[in-house]
Amino acid sequence: MLRLQDKVAIVTGGGRGIGKVSAKRFAQEGAKIALVDFDVALGRAAADELVDLTEVIFLEVDVSQRNQARQMVQEVVDHFGRVDVLLNNAGVLRDAQLLKMSEADFDVVISVNLKGAFNCGQAVAEFMVEQGQGRIINVSSVVGLYGNFGQTNYVASKAGIVGMTKVWARELGRKGITVNAVAPGFIDTEMVRSIPGTLVEEMVKKVPLRRMGTPEEVANVYVFLASDEASYVNGTVISVDGGVVT
């Protein structure tokens, strides 16, 4: 039996990387997909890859814009009739050391990664409360748990995701909605492949399993949290990092 049969799942940042793989895994488990991305070309291409698996729609959205996030959720409900799962995956990087980081780069990362998750989470929560059930999965990061050189903005956004998740779990749990976070570690994505090889080697040395993770390994955890198997998992942060944070 498919674990997400006929569930309606919103995947933000679904045009590439872990988001794209996660949307496919959700579809393989029977979910109908609303694939959301700011990049139209990537988003449409990713959605087109799912049409043979499930019913899918693509929505161009800047999640940092409150009105766009709310309109997106309304369009999903209008199209599918409900929304069961939100994967708050959209995120950006603008790395720099503290003394070199611009205000603009700080603001955009907080706006997309943290405020964007808030915008989408608040919008779907209204519908999920009416339904009496739902799953919200927020994407943090291993660096949100222990920090990282040159990532003041990114780490702040991902640490904020952890705190926000715990608040939502307390507020929404009594409404039948679970809220959890996942903190991926060093995952083999396009972004990581752009890093010089020597730096990647140093990253891998920090992992007890001595390898990077795959997007599929992260997506499998998202599937679990979205499914009925995780019905009593609420307010937790699951690290998918090969043991970096123990």
Return the active site residues: 154
**180: phi then psi, degrees, rounded to nearest 5:** -135, 165
Partner residues linked to 10 by β-bridges? 34, 86
Residue 212 CA, distance from chain mean position:
19
| Residues 182, 201: Cα–Cα separation, whole Å | 24
| Residues 20, 43: Cα–Cα separation, whole Å | 9
Residues 28 and 21 sit within 8 Å (Cβ to Cβ): no
Give the tokens for residue 148.
């990282």
